[in-house]
Structure 1
């Protein structure tokens, strides 16, 4: 045994348990289109809900404090690893979106910088902590140190925090929006972005078909668990449904998946 050298220590994880168990999705689309995409690189994350109160003390309380609950506030605090592509030439798209929304308010207090978020257990557990709401980026604080760069962010809730069914509770794919939602009857004239969920569960692509009104797309690429780009086939004038099929099933028809041939 060599003397005079300290034993190596086991490094501790940089990721909190809450960041491991819960997922934060960001709606990057322009209202009324919805396009939730997962925020990657989260090392720490917590959802804080606080009751808003005001003093309600009366004479009969003989000096003891009394408060009346008048509402509530909520926010999400997170630390993210600032991420680029492998070449280091572009920032992760969702992180870049958050940065742009913060800058929009920094330069103009009247900017439209609100967007939707979803917070839920990534394993599909119905733990009573699946929520959806609208936020703005209130705080953006780079680490400023050497080596890897992290950003501390605060997403301040705007209005109600709504309870939702855990989107990860079922692995059947969903289609929440498509863009553009119209194209020519010739098909193959544009690329269509399809947004939803469960296209790449657990990091493995599971899509077996993308169809426009029952006709297979000319081609498609699964970009992420929540994003597919597809080339529409030729079709007759009218509205059809865009459906995504995986080994877990086929997305349910909703108005959000309508595509119109014109």
Structure 2
């Protein structure tokens, strides 16, 4: 007797990836949270009792809102040289301490998504509500349990950043410079790692004098000379050229 072929693929828990926005609002620079050992995204309804006499003692609840959070366990890590903490881990720990003086001081952007590009991403503002080293014996790894507590709405309509590998520019720092050029410009975005060649970064019609790809979300470029006015900074990789958006406007003055 013929067996029925399997027509599905079971998804793995490790498919989920978390990015932390380490830039100061309104700029945006998402960096991947590395060393994730466990991840539990929680999105739950907030309810209150809505029971009345006519319910004859039966429980009834009314939904009054919702809350969301990420419960994460990370392998506390350093850089490859062992001389400094992983920058995203250090950022989260700093934000935890900042929140002690007011939640607004510790807020940042966070998003999570399927690393295979399946489905949409979720994104929102949050703060670190819990930073708890797990301890252990002398031979144990240093793990930290973190609660990233949502602040305000959770946007579930965000496009999965790995669903389309076309590069995108999400911010410039500074967003302008002299017509003589020669100044360094931080180009922030997504899918920037594949940028190569003289035409990889352009200021309007002119190639950047030079550039260095720092990470998938960060390029440092030297602005070429230009005429007074606003031009588009574009990034090109084998997957395409970044679309024109307001965030890529660079003004020569």
Aligned residue for 1:82? 76
TM-score, structure 2 as length reference: 0.88
How many pairs does the alignment contain? 238
Distance 2:103 2:123 in 1: 24
Cα-to-partner distance string for 1:100-141 (whole Å, 9 max, x where unaligned): 1111122x1265211111111111112x5x211100110001
Give every structure 1 segment of 4 or more consecutive aligned residues whose post-TM-superposition deviation is greater than 4 Å: none
1:64 counterpart residue number: 58
TM-score, length-scaled by structure 1? 0.85
Name the structure 1 match of 2:30: 36
Asked whether the 8 Å contact 1:21–1:123 carries over to 2, the reply is: yes
Match of 1:71, SS state, is: strand
The residue aligned with 2:159 is 165
Aligned-pair Cα RMSD in Å: 1.7
Q: d(CA) in 1 for partners of 2:132 and 2:222?
A: 40
Which residue of 2 is the match for residue 150 of structure 1? Answer: 143
Unpaired runs of 5+ in structure 2?
1-10
Distance 1:21 1:206 in 2: 26
The corresponding residue for 2:3 is: none
Per the alignment, residue 215 of structure 2 pairs with: 224
Determine whether 1:109 maps to 2:93.
no
| Runs of 5+ unmatched residues, structure 1 | 1-15
Q: Does 1:261 align with 2:252?
A: yes
Alpha-carbon shift at residue 174 of structure 1 (Å): 0.6
Q: Confirm or deny: 8 A CA contact 1:57 1:66 kept in the other structure.
A: yes
* Matched residue, 2:7: none
Question: Which residues in structure 2 correspond to 1:89-108 (within 5 Å)?
Answer: 89-106=83-100, 108=101
Distance 1:68 1:111 in 2: 29
State how far apart, in whole Å, the 2-side matches of 1:83 and 1:23 are: 17
Q: Distance in 1 between matches of 2:182 and 2:227?
A: 14
Distance 1:17 1:80 in 2: 18
**Partner Cα separation in structure 2 for residue 157 and residue 122 of structure 1:** 21
SS class of match (1:112): helix
